[in-house]
């Protein structure tokens, strides 16, 4: 493959990844940067959609320095940082008010970096009207969930639907994280379902030192890791905790709403451990006896493919999940529950049936979903679309 340059419009700020946030976007940048045929990546931080987010972007991404980075330039509204010969990070606070100028600045930065015949790889649906304005050779969109159904974008739902329609018409290659998401793009020939992955070495390295906040809890430990927000079915967790008073339920992750935190704090056998970084996550999952994906059924959830599924299985843990929660690809090694009573039955079954043989089978099931394999698969599809 000819050396490739990529402008990647991100769903996060690079600083978030450095501070322990993990998502598909960040994992793929890490994999691409290590590949010899990727010459340069211009990683563009999540463009702000509001003044409030622009101020946050300035405070979190433009004023501070990235770990290990060298600032190439900084203005009141944008900054370029060199992390390595392969990765440069650009942050800009103007998108919400001057999107055309945002595009112009990104093009100027690409020129400054001598990027040629580059492709644009976007995770950001609001970029849709400008997606083909960067002078690129190829346009790639990677659909991570359906943002039109995401609670955080309720007020933008109609515009999101319109942006997805534009992406459907203008992108050369569209990847979807979930099979159901292909329908959003009419199952066109240029739409490819490529699920999430996992860093096998990261999750399968045994952690001997374990934090006391989980090590001292009575077993069995029934665990969940991730942000506790609208997608998490707290009614289900409350039901399970009441039905299993001899079990410890552990929630590892920040809770978005105070009322949810207050509600969970009243349940004696539910323990809220708070946010843990990507580096810490394996040590906590390895302490679970059963891992949960207790997601509410919704139109949004059907568009997801939770990374925690692969991470749980990479640790060999039995997983119990609600139906339609994006686990069907690995349903042969997951306990899928149809309702709360069935979830409780599957929880008992998961504990009862667990064995070294089943743990090995779970680990084997995710071997083909390493992030390296996912990245190579995606680049192989892209390379076949490129014509030089």
pLDDT at 208: 77
pLDDT at 1: 67
If asked whether residues 222 and 164 sit together in one domain, one would say no
Q: If we measure between CA atoms, which residue out of 137, 128, 73 comes closest to residue 105?
A: 73
- pLDDT-above-90 percentage for the chain: 92
- Mean pLDDT on 55-73: 96
pLDDT band at 75 (very low <50, low <70, confident <90, very high): very high
CA separation (Å) from 368 to 195, 244, 245, 279, 383? 11, 35, 38, 22, 21
SS (H, E, C) 72-86: EEECCCEEEEECCCC
What is the CB-side half-sphere exposure of residue 286 using CA atoms within 13 A? Answer: 16
If asked whether residues 281 and 189 sit together in one domain, one would say no
If asked whether residues 207 and 284 sit together in one domain, one would say yes
- Can you give the CATH number for the domain in which 43 is found? 3.40.50.2000
Name residues whose C-beta falls within 8 Å of residue 192's C-beta, 6 or more positions apart in sequence. Answer: 173, 174, 175, 176, 378, 381
Across all residues in the chain, what is the average pLDDT?
95
If asked whether residues 236 and 353 sit together in one domain, one would say yes
If asked whether residues 10 and 51 sit together in one domain, one would say yes
pLDDT at 3: 86
If asked whether residues 190 and 217 sit together in one domain, one would say no
pLDDT band at 190 (very low <50, low <70, confident <90, very high): very high
pLDDT at 286: 96
If asked whether residues 96 and 23 sit together in one domain, one would say yes
If asked whether residues 62 and 167 sit together in one domain, one would say yes
Give the number of domains in the chain: 2
pLDDT in tens, 37-51: 999 999 999 999 999
Spatial distance between the Cα atoms of 242 and 270, rounded to a whole number of angstroms: 10
If asked whether residues 89 and 177 sit together in one domain, one would say yes
pLDDT at 306: 95
Measured torsion, CA atoms of residues 196, 200, 202, 206, in degrees rounded to the nearest 10: 140
If asked whether residues 155 and 266 sit together in one domain, one would say no
Contact 63, 30 (CB under 8 A): no
If asked whether residues 258 and 325 sit together in one domain, one would say yes
| Residue 345 per-residue DSSP state | H
Contact 62, 53 (CB under 8 A): no
Q: Considering Cα of 273, then 278, then 283, then 284, what sign does the dihedral take?
A: positive
* Structural domain range at position 217: 200-368
Residue 388 has pLDDT above 60, yes or no: no
If asked whether residues 188 and 206 sit together in one domain, one would say no
């Amino acid at each position: 493959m000819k050396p490739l340059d990529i402008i990647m419009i991100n769903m996060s700020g690079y600083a978030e990844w450095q501070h322990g946030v993990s998502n598909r976007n960040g994992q793929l940048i890490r994999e691409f940067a290590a590949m010899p045929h990727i010459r340069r990546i211009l990683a563009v931080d999540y463009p702000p959609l509001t003044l409030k987010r622009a101020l946050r972007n300035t405070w979190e991404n433009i004023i501070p320095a990235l770990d290990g980075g060298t600032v190439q330039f900084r203005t009141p509204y944008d900054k370029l940082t060199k992390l390595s010969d392969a990765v440069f990070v650009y942050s800009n606070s103007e998108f919400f008010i001057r999107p055309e100028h945002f595009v112009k600045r990104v093009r100027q930065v690409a020129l400054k970096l001598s990027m040629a015949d580059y492709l644009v790889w976007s995770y950001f649906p609001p970029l849709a009207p400008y997606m083909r304005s960067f002078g690129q050779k190829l346009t790639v969109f990677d659909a991570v969930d359906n943002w039109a159904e995401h609670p955080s974008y309720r007020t933008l739902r109609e515009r999101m639907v319109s942006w997805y329609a534009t992406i459907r018409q203008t992108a050369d290659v569209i990847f979807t994280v979930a099979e159901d998401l292909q329908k959003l793009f009419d199952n066109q020939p240029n739409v490819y379902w490529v699920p999430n992955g996992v860093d096998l070495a990261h999750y399968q390295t045994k952690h001997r030192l374990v934090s006391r906040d989980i090590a001292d809890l009575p077993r069995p430990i029934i665990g969940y890791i991730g942000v506790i927000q609208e997608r998490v079915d707290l009614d289900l967790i409350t039901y399970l905790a009441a039905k299993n008073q001899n079990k410890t339920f552990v929630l590892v992750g920040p809770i978005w709403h105070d009322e949810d935190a207050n509600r969970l704090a009243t349940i004696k056998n539910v323990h809220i451990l708070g946010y843990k970084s990507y580096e810490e996550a394996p040590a906590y999952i390895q302490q679970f006896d059963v891992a949960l994906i207790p997601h509410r059924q919704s139109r949004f959830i059907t568009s997801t493919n939770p990374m925690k599924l692969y991470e749980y299985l990479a640790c060999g843990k039995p997983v119990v999940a609600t139906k339609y929660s994006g686990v069907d690809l690995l349903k042969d090694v997951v306990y899928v529950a149809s309702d709360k009573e069935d979830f409780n039955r599957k929880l008992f079954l998961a504990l009862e049936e667990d064995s070294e043989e089943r743990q090995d089978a779970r680990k084997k099931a995710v071997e083909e979903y390493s992030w390296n394999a996912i990245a190579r698969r995606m680049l192989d599809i892209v390379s076949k679309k490129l014509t030089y």
